[in-house]
């Protein structure tokens, strides 16, 4: 099923991310693993949206755990339903 996944970093997590290598290496791993169809970021708010196919509860849990660990917040998953033609 297709989901819009939204996450944002806490101030503490964002500062830790910025003082290291930045968000690039982490999101490169996310893109490699989950192959989002689209990804949008708002660097002024440390906020990211992605549209991604998640086919099992295990996929959802894996992405949720990774984003929670990285950003310090629980991500929001919104199912996207296709409209009939």
How far, in Å, CA of 60 to CA of 75, rounded? 10
pLDDT the model gives residue 31: 94
Q: What is the tens place of the pLDDT at every residue in 69-83?
A: 999 999 999 999 876
Residue 43 DSSP class:
T
Instruction: Sketch out the chain's domains with CATH numbers.
Output: 2-80 (3.30.70.1060)
Question: Is 80 exceeded by the pLDDT of residue 32?
Answer: yes
E strand spans, the chain = 2-8, 38-42, 47-53, 76-80
pLDDT the model gives residue 40: 93
Question: Is 90 exceeded by the pLDDT of residue 14?
Answer: no
Q: What is the tens place of the pLDDT at every residue in 54-68?
A: 999 999 999 999 999
How far, in Å, CA of 17 to CA of 83, rounded? 38
Integer CA distances (angstroms), 25 to 5, 31, 35, 70, in order:
19, 10, 15, 11
């Amino acid at each position: 099923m297709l989901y819009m996944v939204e996450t944002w970093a806490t101030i503490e997590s964002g500062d830790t991310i910025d003082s290291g290598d930045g968000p690039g290496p982490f999101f490169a791993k996310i893109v490699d693993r989950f192959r989002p169809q689209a990804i949008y970021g708002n660097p002024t708010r440390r906020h990211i949206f992605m549209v991604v196919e998640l086919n099992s509860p295990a996929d959802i849990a894996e992405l949720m755990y990774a984003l929670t660990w990285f950003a310090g917040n629980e991500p929001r998953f919104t199912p996207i339903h296709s409209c009939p033609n």
